[in-house]
Amino acid sequence: MTSGAAGFHQGSGWDTRYHSPALATEVVALLGGSALVLDGTLGGGGHTAALLDHGVGRVIGVDRDPDALAAASERLAEAMANGRFSPYRGNYAAIDTIPALAGLRFNGILLDLGISSHQIDDAARGFSFREGAPLDMRMGSDAMQSAAELLDDASEDELTRIFREYGDEPRAARLAREIVRRRQSRPFESSDDLVGAIRGAFGPRTGPPEFARLFQAVRIAVNDELTGLARALPMLRDRLAPGGTFAVIAYHSGEDRMVKHAFREWSTDCICPPRHPMCTCGGNHATGELLTRRATVASADEIARNPRARSAKLRAWRAK
């Protein structure tokens, strides 16, 4: 196995304490055997290790987070030494700015969106609603502001939009108003301040499921995740070699919707509005083929082993 000794625990062969890759077997079925794969969300290198173990010639790994690059580089040191793995720090939504990747075309591209278990577990990173954690949430130094700065500076309208669009929160305006009211007397600094505002807006019985959803909304805003994904999808599609496969695992409904619509649109010849009586677009617009009519989800066994896989949705598309 490529995956070295970086602390395996029971589970799929590619789990480490850093992170357990979701749907690894399904990702291998889609991308295994490819000559060159871009893993745009390298994390602890679990998916990359699985791909290198299944006939992928070379993997280029990209992550915004230096911790992820360090963990994956240690784990995949042997593959790195023999030229089968090359890590780069960067944003998958801006791979054109990584000079070493200029002009490369990939036979497979993987995005496993969101954050890793390591990022959640490291209290100093401020991704969790655990008591007393700093409100940071930046995945890398390319994120413009911390969660605390965002909560202290964003307008009430912007906060409402963030909680409504990224957190599916129907009472978003009430929470935004509560945040603006509280920050007038004291700036937001720790997880307790945001938990306090959520409880202040929605009542003392509000608990972990709401905190998780609303903290995630702030994280998505801090890291520009949805707009980054929207920018990245067509750009990465254009970096696929003919016949190359694009696979995306999403954990958030907004991200999954975006991927679903993009893959469908790229697989459709006629792009006229749905109830248009006849085709006026000229047809023949499909640039590839949808490989997953419905999203692939984790089995009950995988969810029992890795609860984070519960919300994972994998979709794939193949270029012509």
Dig out the tokens for 283 from the structure.
């047809």
Stretch that binds ligand SAM, among 43-51, 79-87, 152-160, 295-303 (CB under 6 A): 43-51
Report the largest interatomic distance among the alpha carbons of the chain, rounded to a whole angstrom: 61
To the nearest whole angstrom, how small is the minimum distance from the Cβ of residue 130 to ligand SAM? 19
Residue 87 in the binding site for ligand SAM (CB under 6 A): no
Residue 298 in the binding site for ligand SAM (CB under 6 A): no
Residue 21 in the binding site for ligand SAM (CB under 6 A): yes
Stretch that binds ligand SAM, among 41-49, 264-272, 287-295, 299-307 (CB under 6 A): 41-49
- In terms of CB distance, is 68 or 147 closer to ligand SAM? 68
Q: What region does 194 belong to: left with phi over 0, alpha with psi -120 to 50, or beta?
A: alpha
Residue 32 in the binding site for ligand SAM (CB under 6 A): no
To the nearest whole angstrom, how small is the minimum distance from the Cβ of residue 28 to ligand SAM? 12
Dig out the tokens for 130 from the structure.
């655990």
Interface residue with ligand SAM, options 19, 182, 260, 315 (CB under 6 A):
19
Stretch that binds ligand SAM, among 107-115, 157-165, 209-217, 233-241 (CB under 6 A): 107-115
Interface residue with ligand SAM, options 38, 62, 133, 175 (CB under 6 A):
62
Interface residue with ligand SAM, options 116, 160, 245, 292 (CB under 6 A):
116
Interface residue with ligand SAM, options 52, 60, 68, 236 (CB under 6 A):
68
Interface residue with ligand SAM, options 93, 217, 233, 247 (CB under 6 A):
93
Stretch that binds ligand SAM, among 5-13, 45-53, 200-208, 297-305 (CB under 6 A): 45-53
Interface residue with ligand SAM, options 47, 75, 138, 239 (CB under 6 A):
47
Residues 125-144 that bind ligand SAM (CB under 6 A): 139
Nearest residue to ligand SAM, scored by beta-carbon proximity:
43
- Amino acid sitting at position 94: A
3-state secondary structure the chain: CCCCCCCCCCCCCCCCCCCCCCCHHHHHHHHCCCCEEEECCCCCCHHHHHHHCCCCCEEEEEECCHHHHHHHHHHCHHHHHCCCEEEEECCHHHHHHCHHHCCCCEEEEEEECCCCHHHHHCHHHCCCCCCCCECCCCCCCCCCCCHHHHHHHCCHHHHHHHHHHHCCCCCHHHHHHHHHHHHCCCCCCEHHHHHHHHHHHHCCCCCHHHHHHHHHHHHHHHCCHHHHHHHHHHHHHCCEEEEEEEEEEECCHHHHHHHHHHHHHHCCCCCCCCCCCCCCCCCCCCCEEECCCCCECCCHHHHHHCHHHHHCEEEEEEEC
Interface residue with ligand SAM, options 2, 30, 76, 92 (CB under 6 A):
92
| Interacting residue ranges for ligand SAM, rule: CB under 6 A | 19, 21, 41, 43-47, 62-65, 68, 91-93, 112, 114-116, 139, 228
